[in-house]
Amino acid sequence: MFWTRLASGVVLLILAVGTMALGGIPLALTLWGISMVAFREMTKALKCAGEGHGLNCLEWVGLGAVTAYYLAMYFSGDAALLLMCIVGACMGVMFAYVVTFPKHQAGEAVSAVFSFLYAPVLLSFVYLTRMCPQGLYLVWMILISSWGCDTFAYVVGKLIGKKKIFPVLSPKKSLEGCIGGVLGAAALGYLYGVLFVERAFPDQRTAWMIALICGAGAVMSMVGDLAASAVKRNTGIKDYGKLIPGHGGIMDRFDSTVVTAPMTYFLAFLLLM
């Protein structure tokens, strides 16, 4: 199991680094594919999916909205158009709910909208960060915040973790591990700023700002991880899927990234752009 998980992690890292470095079509297509799978995983977890392998009308509307949103993001990127896609998705789900009534419950319609917003829309901020000015340097803060935090939190928690901070939701998480994850991500962000960003832009001293962004992103990374765990506990499932060997589904691996990406984008916009 360890070697399977490690191999999958290496493949995911290579895929993430490669597509984020390239940006453009490769990154947009990758995020679209991930978002389509993540949306389906969320609808299954929230009990608003079709039975078996089939899709119900709420899911068809949601998947169509995901595709429309990513097309608008790639070809335009205009904030008003993206907002229009989001509102259109909500209206589309409402329309499907009304037309098929009483086939679906109100909670299913709400869950379908949430599934669209939670994974596809929030993940799109990886692309928005990469394609903004200086995005080639800013986008790596997302990985530093999420995967860096995970690594440091795990190591520190294993070494000195004692105080359980969320004993019911996540029994293995310790206060020491959480602090270590945030400080570790911030330290990585600072080193990244000094070694890469400030060398590329010698007239700017941004390392401390990058450290702050990565630290804040690490906090949200843990919130995203815990939120995904809470959903699984509420719905009685172990994993969101089986797509990634040793990890589970897309949402099991990208649960922290979905909230770290928008946090990074907005803080970078406020502090660095």
> What is the residue-level pLDDT of the chain in tens, covering all 273 positions?
556 776 777 888 899 889 999 999 999 999 999 999 999 999 999 999 877 668 999 999 999 999 999 999 999 989 999 999 999 999 999 999 999 999 999 999 999 999 999 999 999 999 999 999 889 999 999 999 998 999 999 999 999 988 888 888 888 889 999 999 999 999 999 999 999 988 888 778 899 999 999 999 999 999 999 999 999 999 989 889 888 877 788 998 898 999 999 999 999 999 887
Q: Give the predicted TM-score (pTM) of the model.
A: 0.93
Q: Alpha helix locations (H) across the chain?
A: 2-22, 24-45, 57-75, 79-99, 106-116, 122-130, 135-138, 140-143, 149-160, 175-192, 198-200, 207-235, 250-253, 257-271
Helix pair angle (24-45, 122-130), 10° resolution: 170
